[in-house]
């Protein structure tokens, strides 16, 4: 599990948890998880829902998440093409921590923006 045999410990620079932290800290990953929660979604709809994400970048994000077992990608042999993205159990287990983070963001946006204003006006 952990290459050096120790328990996973995010405070250890050499622990692979750092890698995982990078993935779930990714700007778009959290949003993808949030939007996929209700059920499978197609590429274009997901893109529209998230907003402001370039197709290339969304593709990269989705591929990386698929690789890490957070979601599945299903291609239906139809015309027009149809590709569904759906959270795996692992992906769904990420919802709780992500909710904690987004809830914090929603609750404290004001404070952060205020602090930023004060800092910028002062110097």
Of 107, 58, 112, 67, give the one whose Cα is nearest residue 91: 67
72 interacts with, out of DNA, a copy of itself, none, CB within 5 to 8 A per kind:
none
Residue 6's binding partner among DNA, a copy of itself, none (Cβ under 5 to 8 angstroms by kind) is none
Contact positions with a copy of itself (CB under 8 A) in 28-67: 30-31, 34-35, 49-52, 66-67
Q: Residue 87: how many CA atoms within 13 Å on its side-chain side?
A: 19
Please, which residue, 50 or 83, has the CB nearer to a copy of itself?
A: 50
How far apart are the C-alpha atoms of 32 and 41, rounded to whole Å?
10
Q: Cβ of residue 53: shortest distance to DNA, in angstroms?
A: 7
Burial of 110 per CB tally in 10 Å (0-12, 13-18, 19+): exposed
Of residues 78 and 120, the one with the C-beta less far from a copy of itself: 120
Q: In DSSP terms, which residues pair with 71 in a beta bridge?
A: 87
In the complex, which residues of this chain contact DNA (CB under 7 A)? 26-28, 42-45, 52-57, 59-60, 73, 79-83
Round to whole Å and give the CA distance between 100 and 46.
22
Q: How far is the CB of 5 from DNA (least distance, A)?
A: 25
């Amino acid at each position: 599990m952990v290459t050096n045999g120790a328990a996973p410990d995010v405070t250890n620079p050499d622990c692979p948890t750092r890698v995982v932290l990078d993935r779930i800290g990714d700007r778009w990953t959290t949003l993808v998880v949030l939007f996929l929660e209700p059920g499978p979604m197609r590429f274009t709809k997901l893109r529209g829902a998230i907003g402001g994400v370039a197709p290339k970048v969304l593709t990269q994000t989705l591929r990386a998440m698929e690789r890490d077992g957070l979601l599945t990608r299903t291609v239906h042999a139809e015309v027009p093409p149809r590709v569904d993205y759906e959270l795996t159990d692992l992906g769904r287990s990420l919802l709780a921590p992500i909710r904690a983070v987004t809830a914090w963001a929603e609750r404290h946006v004001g404070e952060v923006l205020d602090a930023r204003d004060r800092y910028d006006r002062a110097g």
